[in-house]
Amino acid sequence: MTTTTAEIGRRTAVPDMQRIRRVARRRHIIANIGSALLGIVLMIWTLGPLYNIVMVSLEGHDDVFGSRIWPQYATLHEYWLVVTQGYWYLDFFWEQFARSAYLGAAVTFFTLLIGSLTSFAISRMRIRHGWVITNVALLTYVIPASFLAIPFYRLAQDYGMMNNLWAVIAALVTFATPYSIFIFQNYSASIPIELDESARIDGASPIHIYLRIYLPMMAPALVAVGTYALLLAWNDYLYQFLLLSDKASMTVPVALAQFLNSDEAPWNLMMATAVIYALPPIATYYAFRKRMTAGLTMGGVKG
């Protein structure tokens, strides 16, 4: 009796299993083809504007106004012109580039400094009513940048801060610090408070604890926030555009945009300039990509 039931079971089970396996394999293949197609679409979508900017930067002037989808004669001539400041609107390119770099560095530095001091006082020293500051910072984070811009512009005029890079630095630090405070507070929760306690028992003052314990332990979060602040400064156009109008105080994006609306925009030169301008943040981003992603979601997205 038992053998026959087992046989029947086997006889019906075998084709069943085969069919299930076949269906599963077919579904697997379809899913793979589907995701490969989606992958190709995403790749074309992402690469389109990038291909465009590189292609135009390699083209000759007449070639720009043609109908080809690849450069007829690819040349690095435009890059050479940019690097040697060999065109009249690029007279101050390196000066402007240095100013952009200075802006990025200053915004990063002050964001890290102010953000880490604030979050140290709130989450490590646990000052009373620290949550008020946290909430106030949260409020800043949700004020759209272009809303503050107009009064800011007006006030900069009043205080003689026009064409002063520090006005831009102040504005961008204001927008970057709230985020830094959140990330630092979240991250510092993972550092045992006992470290601070034992240092205090050994007679360390708060500034010592901040410098010797807090900052080294926070290194990953500092890197994440630093990258964020640098990208924010490099992304900004509005404040630089409003506050820096003088040729002697311009940054790269402001100088570049001046030629966007002129009659004979040298597109290939503009694209070459834009590529050079975009390289530092790209390099920084890919250098710290892992840290940055971790930082963005740190303590965060548990839902």
Partner 1 sequence: MVDNIQTFQPARPLPVQAAAAPRRRSWLRTMRGGLQGSEYTWALAFLVPYVAVFIAFVAYPVAYGFWMGSKLSLYSEAFSDPIYWKTVVNTLVYMAVDVNLEIFLALILSGFFMRRGWWVKALLMLWVLPWAIPEMPAYISIHWMLNGDYGLLNNALWTLFHVNGPAWLDTRWLGFFSIVASHLWKWVPFWTVIMLAGRMAIPSEIHEAAEVDGATGLRHFAYITVPMLANLYLVATLLLTIFLVGDFNTPYFITGGGPAMSTFTLGTLGVVQYTLGMAEPRLGVATVLTAMPLIIPLVIILMRKLRTAQVQL
Q: Does 151 bind partner 1 (CB under 8 A)?
A: yes
Alpha carbon distance 105, 100 (integer Å):
9
Segment interacting with partner 1, rule: CB under 8 A, options 8-16, 79-87, 215-223, 263-271: 263-271
x/- track of binding to partner 1 for residues 265-284 (CB under 8 A): --x--xx--xx-xx--xx-x
> Quick one: 2 or 73, whose CB is closer to partner 1?
73
Segment interacting with partner 1, rule: CB under 8 A, options 8-16, 71-79, 84-92, 173-181: 173-181
Taking CB under 8 A as the criterion, the residue among 28, 154, 212, 290 binding partner 1 is 154
Min. distance of Cβ 292 from partner 1 in angstroms? 9
Taking CB under 8 A as the criterion, the residue among 170, 222, 223, 225 binding partner 1 is 170
Segment interacting with partner 1, rule: CB under 8 A, options 1-9, 89-97, 142-150, 215-223: 142-150
Min. distance of Cβ 224 from partner 1 in angstroms? 12
Min. distance of Cβ 191 from partner 1 in angstroms? 15
Min. distance of Cβ 237 from partner 1 in angstroms? 5
Tokens of 59: 């083209």
DSSP assignment of the chain:
-HHHHHHHHHHHHHHHHHHHHHHHHHHHHHHHHHHHHHHHHHHHHHHHHHHHHHHHHHS-HHHHTS--SS-SS--SHHHHHHHTT-SGGGTTHHHHHHHHHHHHHHHHHHHHHHHHHHHIIIIIS--TTHHHHHHHHHHHHTS-HHHHHHHHHHHHHHTT-TT-HHHHHHHHHHHHHHHHHHHHHHHHTTS-HHHHHHHHHTT--HHHIIIIIIHHHTHHHHHHHHHHHHHHHHH--HHHHHH--STTT--HHHHHHHTTSSTT--HHHHHHHHHHHHHHHHHHHHHTHHHHHHHHTTTTTT-
Contact 100, 253 (CB under 8 A): yes
Contact 230, 295 (CB under 8 A): no
Rule CB under 8 A: which of 92-121 touch partner 1?
A: 113-115, 117-118, 120-121
Rule CB under 8 A: which of 4-23 touch partner 1?
A: none
Q: Does 289 bind partner 1 (CB under 8 A)?
A: yes
> Quick one: 7 or 198, whose CB is closer to partner 1?
198
Segment interacting with partner 1, rule: CB under 8 A, options 7-15, 46-54, 76-84, 217-225: 46-54
Q: Does 29 bind partner 1 (CB under 8 A)?
A: no
Radius of gyration over alpha carbons of the chain, in Å? Answer: 28
Q: Does 222 bind partner 1 (CB under 8 A)?
A: no
* Residue that is written with structure tokens 């609107």 in the block: 89
Taking CB under 8 A as the criterion, the residue among 12, 35, 72, 84 binding partner 1 is 35
Q: Does 243 bind partner 1 (CB under 8 A)?
A: no
Q: Does 256 bind partner 1 (CB under 8 A)?
A: yes
Segment interacting with partner 1, rule: CB under 8 A, options 12-20, 85-93, 194-202, 217-225: 194-202
